[in-house]
Amino acid sequence: MTDLTELGVAAIRDGVANGTFTAVEVAEAFNANVAAAQQALNAFIVATPEAAIEAAKATDAKRAAGEALGKMGGVPIGMKDLFATKGVQTTAASHMLEGFKPEYESTVSQKLWDAGAGMLGKLNLDQFAMGSSNETSYFGNVISPWRRNDGGNAALAPGGSSGGSSAALAARLCPAATGTDTGGSIRQPAAFTGTTGIKPTYGRCSRWGIVAFASSLDQAGPMARSVQDCAIMLEAMAGFDPKDSTSLDMAVPAWEAGLSADMKGKKVGIPREYRVDGLDADVAKSWDDGIAWLKDAGAEIVEISLPHTKYALPTYYIIAPAEASSNLARYDGVRYGLRDLPDGANLQDMYAATRAAGFGAEVKRRIMIGTYVLSAGFYDAYYTQAQKVRTLISHDFKNAFTECDVILAPTAPSAAFGLGENVDDPLKMYLNDVFAVPASLAGLPAMSVPAGLNAEGLPLGLQVIGKPFDEQGVLNAGLAIEQRAGFTAKPEKWW
Amino acid sequence: MTESTYRIQGATGDWEVVIGLEVHAQVTSQSKLFSGSATAFGAEPNSQVSLVDAAMPGMLPVPNRECIRQAVRTGMAINAQINKWSRFDRKNYFYADLPQGYQISQLYHPLVGEGSIEIVLDEKNPENSTKTIGIERIHVEQDAGKLMHDQHPTMSYVDLNRSGVALMEIVSRPDMRSPAEAGAYLTKLRTILRYVGSCDGNMDQGSMRADVNVSVRKPGEPFGTRTETKNVNSVRFVMQAIEHEANRQVDVLEGGGKIVQETRLFDPNTGSTRSMRSKEDAHDYRYFPDPDLLPLELDDAFLEDCLASLPELPDAKRHRYESDLDLSAYNAGVLTADVETARWFELLLAETAKAAGKQPAEVAKQASNWLISELFGALNKLGTSLDESPVTPEKGAELLSLIAKGTISGSAAKQVLEIMLETGDDAGVIVEREGLKQESDTGAIEAEVDKVLAANADKVEQYKAGKEALFGFFVGQTMKAMKGKGNPQVVNEILKAKLAS
């Protein structure tokens, strides 16, 4: 019998639908993998095997009754612990929310359950989604299942902030997982782990019930092991939500049915500004491979310019912390979550003690940066200026898309780095997002697909950026790359 | 435009007071500004709190169109610029009654821009005592919750029922120059809000409260440094706060001191203000556009609908009462000062006109005089008000028609009204039951008059000889004979005619 945990979303959905195996069998197989890997990889904060079985039973019962199974019928998934799940601890990987069980279900997770998916557990992440290596979680680092081919056992970062999602996918702990992307948090972890993930156009997926980091940038998206699986899951996640004012009031296209790897008549833009000095040689090579593959798929390659690219990272690190400093003010110890009330403390003391104890160092750093850039006297110089630059970056893309249909670039400047390598140098850590952040600032759909392995045997990802609302174009270019990259590598099981 | 002569007499001469008001008016709506929770006053603590109001993780605000509509209508009622593009900003600060850690407000791009309100300083002489007070802006924002310090010996409790309720902040220009002007402004603003229906104006329930900005200067000099006295919740308190604060500032300045720009609190028990925090301790609110919300864009259809839904406003109504109904300026002012009074009066007028088969203008004086001097007086004596009056406009109209037809006398009408207020019975029923109907039948009256004149032939002689003061005597004798039920007008006419013959 096939190892069910090697299967992706489409294969499970179809196998369950045509009776090759039951949804319960699938859930049991993934539950077993989750349990076996927890100690070594720490991908989950909470495992919910019963929830996975319960959903699977419901799917099997529906099938027995001849009912439709839904887009994700019988597919168990991992849920990033940034999505509120009713009755199940939801922490954002912070001590602040340890033990917090919401009375509500996020719109996106509810849509997935409605589509027939089941929950294997809540996936670890960087605390409040702030980080690029999953080292800021209060619940411990996630260890990537990948190792370098140098024979060493150095623990590598699975990327961040959706590091639990990416590690679990690569280690076959789930066939698909939710991610959220504020400045690359879906794409960079996907690239680090040889998996696939798409951040849709800002507004495609409702933010209702997702713990907010930076509201104008946060966007949920699927992570899986193939482009088709991402298309299926995104269809289940997306859709207008009247509870989110920034939600797009547009019909959800049939992305899976629209998949086509034929790039004839399409123009692929190669942004010259992304070819930075000292670009990692393996990364540069994979980019060239991507160009060749898309040409092979029939696309015309054009050089484009995104002149404000170099300002994207500093702009992001003003806007995102500014919004975060305000979004995280609600964690004050008054109504829910952690409360630290020292003897004789007044209200101010309680705030200080609670927030000192509840937030990790990176979260505090960003709250302080955000508070600073919004303060009287600095607001115009930082926040207003950053918003202007953000507009310029959007215009860059708008102009570029008059000359091309999609843009191809590396996802990250390097392959996965070792845990601890960047923790003392926040700037170096932030640089990981240099290629991912511009599309976030412009609210554009962007995905990462595996391109191959570097000299150390570690996965590299290629990024496809599309026009607003053109997830289909992004998925199709991703599919063209996927088919030609023939990426089948997987981490050797050591856990 | 009238110039205020109000001055604080200091040791160094006269000081002029400069006043601006920021009024927070709770928007009348079924649900809160960004959530579906109810807004009823006086509900059990924390019984009207949604996940959004409690700022649970991942919750998002969604603007309530009705609150926006009410604010736009209010703006239109003060002839203000309506901004078709506005935006919500976050005002960040920590307090236990503020679950989000920020208040969603509008700093940079308010919904409503420049407008104005006309106030009347002398109701008896409105034409020569009006003044225009500029309004800088109206913006929409969330209210905070409420801390309760009396529930536990060592802890404070939080009630979030008010958290997220929609407020309009109506910011005036520093155009007022006396406590009386500020009082008139606040009263007029309340009148307009109640006409529009965008705020119930109940200051005792906190639906309307004012931050009072006061400074003093020597007439003709530039504005002085101002202080802001927060959350004053009645017209009288606002006037008291201004008077106290202006005098305090004059004392400080004349004592060689300087006014510190600061936030102050009003103590209703002493009528005085005290310092709350100075500018140095002022919060840095770190305003920035709320990224959870798109800019608010209003289309023409929405604005047209808002405009079409506006009722006749107090100034227009007052002018119409004067010109079309020929009411005195004073009466018109009294009747239009509150929307409920005007509504009551118009019903009374319509019913009275219908009963008399006349045009409203023909009975307007009678109706307005009766309402203002009779009904208001009687209700006042009972310590009650028009909205609680057992006498409805229909019942009032019946009483007026009995007077107009001469069925009862003016003095009997007072008696009937008293009984109506006590029992709620109809005027006609009371007149019958109490036998208050007056005799207007000329034949019956003539018979009585003839008897009186015959019995007092000597006095008739004296009268005819020139002692005209005796006329009252004849009237009195006739009325006495008729047990007070003779129609005095008819009695007079008949007596005059008979004595002249």
HEC string for A207-234: CCCECCCCCCCCEEEEEECCHHHHHHHH
Q: By three-state DSSP, how is residue A261 classified?
A: coil
Measured distance CA(A140)–CA(A157) in Å, rounded: 12
Q: Which of B54, B58, B156 sits opposite A209 (nearest CB)?
A: B58
Element (H, E) at A383: none
Q: Which of B60, B100, B101 sits opposite A207 (nearest CB)?
A: B60
Q: B interface mutation test: which of A202, A210, A316, A326 has the most B CBs within 10 A?
A: A326
Chain A neighbors of B154, CB-CB under 8 A? none
Element (H, E) at B450: helix B442-455
CB B212, CB B182: distance < 8 Å: yes
Tell if the CB–CB gap between B99 and A330 is shorter than 8 Å: yes
Confirm or reject contact between A324 and chain B (CB < 8 A). Answer: no
Chain B neighbors of A323, CB-CB under 8 A? 291
Q: According to the model, what pLDDT value does residue B122 have?
A: 87
Closest residue in A to B54 (Cα) is: A335
Q: According to the model, what pLDDT value does residue A223 have?
A: 98
Mean model confidence pLDDT for chain A: 97
Q: According to the model, what pLDDT value does residue A457 have?
A: 97
DSSP at A95: G
Q: Nearest 5°: CA angle at A443, between A441 and A445?
A: 125
Tell if the CB–CB gap between A351 and B94 is shorter than 8 Å: yes
Tell if the CB–CB gap between A215 and B100 is shorter than 8 Å: no
Give the active site residue among A162, A185, A325, A448. A185
Confirm or reject contact between A329 and chain B (CB < 8 A). Answer: yes
Q: According to the model, what pLDDT value does residue A108 have?
A: 98
Q: According to the model, what pLDDT value does residue B448 have?
A: 85
Going residue by residue through chain B, which has 501 residues, state the pLDDT in tens, using 9 for 90 and above.
Answer: 568 889 999 999 999 999 999 999 999 999 999 999 999 988 999 999 999 999 999 999 999 999 999 999 999 999 999 999 999 999 999 999 999 999 999 999 999 999 999 999 988 887 788 999 999 999 999 999 999 999 999 889 999 999 999 999 999 999 999 999 999 999 999 999 999 999 999 998 899 999 999 999 999 999 999 999 999 999 999 999 999 999 999 999 999 999 999 999 999 999 999 998 776 677 899 999 999 999 999 999 999 999 999 999 999 999 999 999 999 999 999 999 999 999 999 999 999 999 889 999 999 999 999 999 999 999 999 999 898 899 999 999 999 999 888 888 888 889 899 999 999 899 999 988 888 887 777 888 888 888 888 888 898 889 888 888 888 898 888 888 887 778 888 888 888 888 887
Interface subset of A 17-76, CB within 8 angstroms of B: none
Average pLDDT over residues A470-495: 97
User: Which residues have a Cβ under 8 Å from the Cβ of A471 and sit 6 or more positions away?
Assistant: A198, A200, A201, A204, A234, A253, A255, A445
| Through-space distance between the first and last CA atoms of chain B, rounded to whole angstroms | 60
pLDDT digits (tens, 9 = 90+) for A417-444: 999 988 888 888 888 899 999 999 999 9
Tell if the CB–CB gap between A104 and B102 is shorter than 8 Å: no
State the residue range of the domain holding A195.
Answer: 8-239+470-480
CA distance B233 to chain A (A): 27
Asked if residue A1 is part of any domain, the answer here is no
- Annotated active-site residue A161? The verdict is yes
Left (φ > 0), alpha (ψ -120 to 50) or beta: where does A116 sit?
left
Measured distance CA(B286)–CA(B442) in Å, rounded: 85
Measured distance CA(B136)–CA(B171) in Å, rounded: 6
Residue B155's nearest CA partner among A154, A182, A345 is A345
CB A128, CB A80: distance < 8 Å: no
Asked if residue A486 is part of any domain, the answer here is no
Give the active site residue among A161, A206, A247, A448. A161
Confidence of residue A1 (pLDDT cuts 50, 70, 90): low
Tell if the CB–CB gap between B158 and A334 is shorter than 8 Å: yes
- Annotated active-site residue A325? The verdict is no
Q: According to the model, what pLDDT value does residue A491 have?
A: 97
Structure token pair of residue B57? 């993780």
Tell if the CB–CB gap between A330 and B100 is shorter than 8 Å: yes
CB A457, CB A175: distance < 8 Å: no
Residue A226's nearest CA partner among A491, A490, A493, A487 is A487
Residue A489's nearest CA partner among A175, A12, A146 is A146
Q: According to the model, what pLDDT value does residue B489 have?
A: 81
Give the active site residue among A80, A122, A266, A467. A80
User: Which residues have a Cβ under 8 Å from the Cβ of A205 and sit 6 or more positions away?
Assistant: A107, A108, A219, A220, A221, A237, A238, A239
CA distance A216 to chain B (A): 5
CA distance B148 to chain A (A): 14
Q: Which of A244, A335, A383 sits opposite B60 (nearest CB)?
A: A244
Q: According to the model, what pLDDT value does residue B104 have?
A: 98
- Annotated active-site residue A94? The verdict is no
Q: B interface mutation test: which of A319, A327, A369, A375 has the most B CBs within 10 A?
A: A327
Confirm or reject contact between A211 and chain B (CB < 8 A). Answer: yes
Q: Which of B101, B158, B291 sits opposite A323 (nearest CB)?
A: B291
Measured distance CA(A79)–CA(A47) in Å, rounded: 10
Q: According to the model, what pLDDT value does residue B4 have?
A: 87
Q: Which of A102, A326, A328 sits opposite B90 (nearest CB)?
A: A326
Tell if the CB–CB gap between A245 and B57 is shorter than 8 Å: no
Q: According to the model, what pLDDT value does residue B484 have?
A: 76
Q: According to the model, what pLDDT value does residue B496 have?
A: 87
What distances in angstroms separate CA A174 from CA A117, A468, B308, one per listed residue? Answer: 12, 30, 59
Question: Domain with A196 in it: what CATH number?
Answer: 3.90.1300.10
Q: According to the model, what pLDDT value does residue A2 have?
A: 75
Closest residue in A to B35 (Cα) is: A243
Measured distance CA(A195)–CA(A176) in Å, rounded: 10
Taken in order A477, A478, A481, A486, the sign of the CA dihedral is negative
Amino acid letter, residue B454 = A
Asked if residue A13 is part of any domain, the answer here is yes
Structural domains in chain B, CATH included, are 20-216+281-306 (no CATH), 312-434 (no CATH), 442-500 (1.10.10.410)
Asked if residue A454 is part of any domain, the answer here is no
CA atoms within 13 A on the CB side of B277: 6
Residue B263's nearest CA partner among B232, B234, B238, B230 is B230
Measured distance CA(B342)–CA(B311) in Å, rounded: 12
Closest residue in B to A374 (Cα) is: B286
Asked if residue A112 is part of any domain, the answer here is yes
Tell if the CB–CB gap between A371 and B59 is shorter than 8 Å: no
Q: What is the ipTM of this complex?
A: 0.96
Confirm or reject contact between A334 and chain B (CB < 8 A). Answer: yes
CA distance A472 to chain B (A): 26
Structure token pair of residue B2? 């009238």
Q: B interface mutation test: which of A122, A213, A334 has the most B CBs within 10 A?
A: A334
Pairing of strands B288-289, B296-297: unpaired
Chain B neighbors of A244, CB-CB under 8 A? 60, 62
Q: Which of A84, A336, A376 sits opposite B58 (nearest CB)?
A: A84
What residues of chain B have any CB closer than 8 angstroms to a CB in chain A? 51, 54-63, 90, 92, 94-96, 99-102, 156, 158, 284, 286-288, 291-294
Q: According to the model, what pLDDT value does residue A25 have?
A: 98
Average pLDDT over residues A375-379: 95
Structure token pair of residue B284? 């840095």
Q: According to the model, what pLDDT value does residue B166 have?
A: 98
Tell if the CB–CB gap between B92 and A245 is shorter than 8 Å: no
Going along A332-481, which residue ranges are E strands?
Answer: 406-410, 446-453, 459-466
CB A389, CB A315: distance < 8 Å: yes
pLDDT at A114 over 70: yes
Structure token pair of residue A221? 């998206």
Tell if the CB–CB gap between B60 and A100 is shorter than 8 Å: no
**A42-56, A174-188, B429-443: the lowest-pLDDT one:** B429-443
CA distance A160 to chain B (A): 20
Chain A neighbors of B56, CB-CB under 8 A? 84, 102-104, 335-336
Tell if the CB–CB gap between B58 and A211 is shorter than 8 Å: yes
Chain B neighbors of A375, CB-CB under 8 A? 284, 286
Q: A interface mutation test: which of B60, B146, B157, B279 has the most A CBs within 10 A?
A: B60
B209-232 in b/e burial notation, b at 16+ Cβ within 10 A?
Answer: bbbbbbbbbeeeeeebebbbbbeb
CB B386, CB B372: distance < 8 Å: no
Pairing of strands B272-278, B262-267: antiparallel
The strand pairing partners of A392, in sequence order, are none
CA dihedral A245, A249, A251, A252 (to 10 degrees): -30
Chain B neighbors of A215, CB-CB under 8 A? 291-292
Confirm or reject contact between A97 and chain B (CB < 8 A). Answer: yes
Asked if residue A309 is part of any domain, the answer here is no
What distances in angstroms separate CA A444 from CA A304, A473, B76, B292, B355, one per listed residue? Answer: 17, 12, 40, 18, 72
Tell if the CB–CB gap between A104 and B51 is shorter than 8 Å: yes
Amino acid letter, residue B49 = V
CA distance A244 to chain B (A): 6
CB A438, CB A395: distance < 8 Å: no
Number of domains in chain A: 1
Pairing of strands B272-278, A459-466: unpaired
